[in-house]
A and B are shown apart, each in its own frame.
Chain A
Amino acid sequence: MANQKRETLQDWRRFKDWLAYGLGALCVIIAVIPLASILIEVIGNGIATINLQFLTTVPTIVIGSGSGGGIGPAIQGTFILLGIAIVLAVPLGLMSGIYLAEFGDNQYGRSIRFLNDVFTEFPSIVIGILIYSLIVVATGSFSPIAGGTALAVIMLPIVTRTTEESIKLVPNSIRDAATALGIRRWRATISIVLSTAKSGVATGILLSIARITGETAPLVLTILGSQFFYYAWNQPIDALPLRIFRDASLPYAYARQQAWGAALILIAIVLGLNITIRLATRGKYDASRART
């Protein structure tokens, strides 16, 4: 009797376990469906367009002339913008992150942290308007400098935040050990704390790059768009998200085809970055967890 009761109870528990497991799996499937459908759709539509010529030539200037040409300037422009944004945002973000994590436990640090969090959620179009009035109007031209700065402003709070978080994960015992060995604090921060946290910091930087690669809104107001390759620091350039945006609104089959191709390249860049992050940091994460 008691045995039978236990068995039904076990069955009930097993059923609940199975149910929870099933629901979990269902959630995963539901979450993956949009991603998979986007990938399948973009690859299916875009793959036919991709060839060396498409990647290296300029788009046709005359609209509606049949063939759309390539997206070379857009790819080049995206890399130039990323380069400028990285050069501007990474050193500053890194230093702010170190400050907040190591020295920021005071009123001043708390207010910076709060403002930084607010900044992270700032609408990117507003940042575009800010840079438009600060740089584009002041210099009298749309430029890669303006676009890169806008992206750097979006990137900065993310780099700051992730740097701070990963430095905070470094156990205090390591800091204590460094101090005990008579190493100065600044030296310990750079050589020991930052070095221990570097995989987390690198992940944060790569994630922020992946985040800004697809930004369109701030670019509309800062680089204008162009059919030509980069030729001067104070002239408009093109970028992949902008090209997709403009192409997709044209009624011509070639433009839509070009937009699919550009979307595939953009997704490949972002996905490539994310996969690199995963591969580069997987082992290190496990190791750091084991250490603490």
Chain B
Amino acid sequence: MSRRLLIIAIAEAVVVLIGVYGYATAFAPGASLGATGVQTITLTGAGATLSYPLLSAAAENYSSSHPGVAINYQPLGSIAGISQLTAKTVDFCVTYPPMTTAQRDAVAPNIPLHIPEAVSEVVVAYNVPGLTKLNLTGSVVADIYLGKVRYWNDPEITSLNPGQNFLNRTINTWHMSEAEGTTFVFTSYLSIVSPEFNQTIGYGTSVSWPTEYTDPTGHSFQITSDSVLTDAGVAGQMKLTDYSIGYMELSYALLAPLPYASLMNAAGNWVTPNLASALAAEGKLPQDLPPSDGDWQGINILNSLDPNAYPLVTFTYFIIYQNLSTLPTMDLAKARTLVGFAWYLIHDGQSLGAALGYDPLPAKVVQIDEVGLKSVVFQGQSLI
């Protein structure tokens, strides 16, 4: 009796294994390549949702022109990406903000290379039925998140938008619950333009958002505020929430689609996030940018003084180790592919960004990236 059971069990196991094997060989990317003798190389990366649309498009394009290469990028959030790179479980990470001194110390003696890979714009998106155009200043956005402005027909909003009809509806704010580069960009900007925001909330990849506002006379007001994971989550939830406002990378607002506000820049002009306004912000880059293996913490192009610049513009960084031998799963072919993909990303890959709402890297940043990528080694061997 038990022998029969054993035979059945073995037969079942065999069937399952054959099934899995057949399934794998029939559809795996390597299956069709096996015949042509091309080895499958896979790169694994994790990090910012900010750059996910661009990276996924670049990965798809690079794989189609390089048979046998599969690039797996998972948008876990900037901080999670850095943690995974530190634990050496991924080949690269993508992040905004740049690594902090503590994060660099954690990977020492390895040197993380910061390769600025895209210029992104963070937008203030809204979902208000009937409203297709909205002007906001940074300090009004700060007041909305602080809870000082809680209704769409608040004078602070209506005075910026003459001729538009606002209803007395509660503003539902959305923010990200996970440590995200987008939150860092957004809160950094609001901290620059609003001293009160800086004092009460401050800036960081995750901050503690207030749930109520207490006015000077001591009255408390509830703030209608919700949180969800990642840019994509905020965009998704805002589509379902009328009278909401939230922040996200431009490409998510374009893909959702959600309308987004024009902001008043540091020079006092109304600007919408687009190629021209991002290029204007890039024009105000400091002259002495650090090299790729240097510290990029001080570099930001937020709240640029250029009269045409959009204020919420940022670099995102593709980070790899300078000495790739440190990764346990690395080999020479994989290391070459990794650097090749990064090279593609900062050159040809930039053209993919236009349709997705990213802006091209300034020439001098591309030069820094090139020097950085040329310094990458695997077992003492240069890769480009």
Contact = CB atoms under 8 A, between A and B. Distances in A.
Q: Do A and B bind each other?
A: yes
Interface of A: 56-58, 61-64, 72, 76, 79-80, 83, 87, 136-137, 139-142, 190-191, 194-195, 198, 224-232, 234-236, 249-252
22 contacts: A62-B53, A63-B53, A63-B56, A64-B53, A79-B19, A80-B24, A83-B20, A87-B13, A140-B328, A141-B44, A141-B328, A190-B2, A194-B2, A226-B72, A227-B72, A228-B29, A228-B42, A229-B29, A249-B229, A251-B233, A251-B238, A252-B236
Contacts of A236: 44, 72, 74
B102 to A, nearest CB: 19
A227 B252 CA distance: 20
A234 B252 contact: no
Contacts of B16: 79, 83
Given A62-B60, A142-B44, A225-B74, A230 B24 contact: yes
A223 B109 CA distance: 28
Given A62-B57, A76-B27, A141 B329 contact: yes
Nearest to B19: A79
B335 interface: no
A137 B83 CA distance: 11
Contacts of A228: 28-29, 42, 70, 72
Contacts of A57: 27
B256 interface: yes
B30 interface: yes
A235 B251 CA distance: 29
B89 interface: yes
B40 A231 contact: yes
A228 B329 CA distance: 18
Contacts, number: 121
B354 interface: no
A76 B30 contact: no
A194 B5 CA distance: 11
Contact of B28 (A61, A62, A231, A234): A231
A38 B255 CA distance: 29
B106 interface: no
B229 A224 contact: no
A84 to B, nearest CB: 10
B126 interface: no
Contacts of B189: none
Contacts of A229: 23-24, 27-29
A76 B23 contact: yes
A231 B42 contact: yes
B17 interface: yes
A36 B59 CA distance: 41
Contact of A79 (B20, B28, B88): B20
A198 B5 contact: yes
A97 B360 CA distance: 62
A205 B84 CA distance: 34
Given A62-B53, A137-B88, A198-B2, 4 more contacts: A58-B29, A72-B27, A83-B17, A226-B74
Given A190-B2, A191-B1, A226-B72, A231 B232 contact: no
Interface string B33-64: 00000001010101000001100110110010
B327 interface: yes
B71 to A, nearest CB: 8
B239 interface: yes
B242 to A, nearest CB: 15
Given A63-B56, A137-B87, A229-B24, A224 B1 contact: no
B244 interface: no
